[in-house]
Amino acid sequence: MRFRLVLAAALAAAWAAAATAGAAVNPQHAGLQVALRAQGLYLGAIDAIVGPRTVAAVRRFQRTHDLRVTGIADLATRRELGPLGTPLFGSRTLARGNFGWDVSVLQFLLNKHGVRVPINAYMDRPTVAGLRRYQRQMHLAADGVAGPRTFAVLGLQSRVPVKAVHVLTLRRYVVRPGDSLTAIAQRHHTTLSKLAHINKLDPAKPLLIGVKLRLPAMVHVQPTAAAATNAGSVRELLDKWAAYYGIDPSLAHALAWMESGYNNSMVSSVGAQGVMQVMPATWSYVEDVLIGHTIADHGPDGNIHVGMAYLHHLLGVFDGDEHLALAGWYQGERSVKANGPLEVSKVFAANVLALKQRM
């Protein structure tokens, strides 16, 4: 929807940074930096070093998303980052069409090992080709799929400052004659300090009969549900407006994912907004020319409505050719008509259409 040569420059800078990364680098951090860059919050090198600029970007993201501001990419923060925030590198086998944090890390590592590929979180054709080159160099099966053997050769690192959200399930216990905190803790497979902390007791003081204690029954990790719920509602809205305009829902899903990771709070450095990354001028064009009335809702529903209306228009202009329509989305309708798709637009269209096959 807008011309993004800035992105190409950013990727070139990322290649240079990756090639010079030092020994103290933790590759998992590259995934965090790419996710923050997609939010327009981090414009530094993708160097996998969590320095002051990366921490500041995390803190800004946490503030704008009503998260606890720690500067640490904890579970809630990573989930709020959308598809770019998960999964950690090494947790799944990677093949063409995958998208996410772990793909960014793989791309960073390939660059670090001298194989130049874009660092864009998408397992596209150049990334697969680069992976095959690296696999041949390391005498692995050059299948373009990153699994355990490839991870091992790349030097898999999974340490990253990620905090799980721990939920303590409690149950009641009434103190009986002869009980002590130590005995109760041992009997219920916990510790004296934890039992005292939960119940705000002083272990040095006598334990009174009849006092109701809270005992930890289970500690488990509870994923933050907000991001999943939001992503689910975005998919439903994409289906609704794609059906309304007669657009293939898989194309709608792929385009929205590539643009924002289903994140309606995203605003780019050039002013593109929401799930579909709609420019203000495009929004006005859709209202004034294509729809003929104002779309007052600037939430996910309104943003997707405008995006689907514009995509429907482009498909009509280019006789249903999805490659040209997506090039028009990225580069601008007039530019494509006058000059044809630029190489960077062709890559964008090819990536969206490749992702479409997996939606």
d(CA 13, CA 190): 51
Can you list the domains of the chain with their CATH numbers?
5-154 (1.10.101.10), 168-221 (3.10.350.10), 226-356 (1.10.530.10)
Tokens 């998303």, located at residue? 65
d(CA 106, CA 108): 5
Q: What is the mean pLDDT of residues 226-232?
A: 47
Minimal CA–CA distance to 96: which of 125, 116, 119?
125
Q: For the chain, what is the largest distance between any 2 Cα atoms, rounded to a whole number of angstroms?
A: 89
Q: What is the mean pLDDT of residues 24-29?
A: 75
Mark out the alpha helices in 261-342 (DSSP H runs): 280-285, 300-317, 322-331, 333-339
Minimal CA–CA distance to 61: which of 47, 44, 82, 88?
82
Lowest mean pLDDT among 50-59, 204-213, 265-274, 334-343: 265-274
d(CA 122, CA 128): 10
d(CA 232, CA 225): 11
Q: What is the pLDDT of residues 80-113, one digit of tens each?
A: 888 888 888 888 899 998 999 999 999 999 998 8
**pLDDT given at position 305:** 96
pTM higher than the cut 0.75: no
**pLDDT given at position 12:** 35
Q: What is the pLDDT of residues 135-162, one digit of tens each?
A: 998 888 899 999 888 887 786 644 433 3
Q: What is the pLDDT of residues 194-218, one digit of tens each?
A: 888 888 888 888 889 999 988 876 5
67 versus 11: the higher-pLDDT residue is: 67
Question: Residue 57: pLDDT band by 50, 70, 90 thresholds?
Answer: very high
d(CA 151, CA 134): 12
Question: Residue 325: pLDDT band by 50, 70, 90 thresholds?
Answer: very high
Check whether 180 has a pLDDT greater than 60: yes
Check whether 2 has a pLDDT greater than 60: no
How many other β-carbons are positioned within 10 Å of the β-carbon of residue 44?
Answer: 18
**pLDDT given at position 312:** 96
Q: What is the DSSP letter of 83?
A: G
Lowest mean pLDDT among 32-36, 64-68, 151-155, 198-202: 151-155
Strand partners, 219: 168
| Helix, strand and coil percent figures for the chain, each rounded to 5 | 55, 5, 40
Determine whether 73 is exposed, middle or buried from the number of CB atoms within 10 Å of its CB (0-12, 13-18, 19+): buried
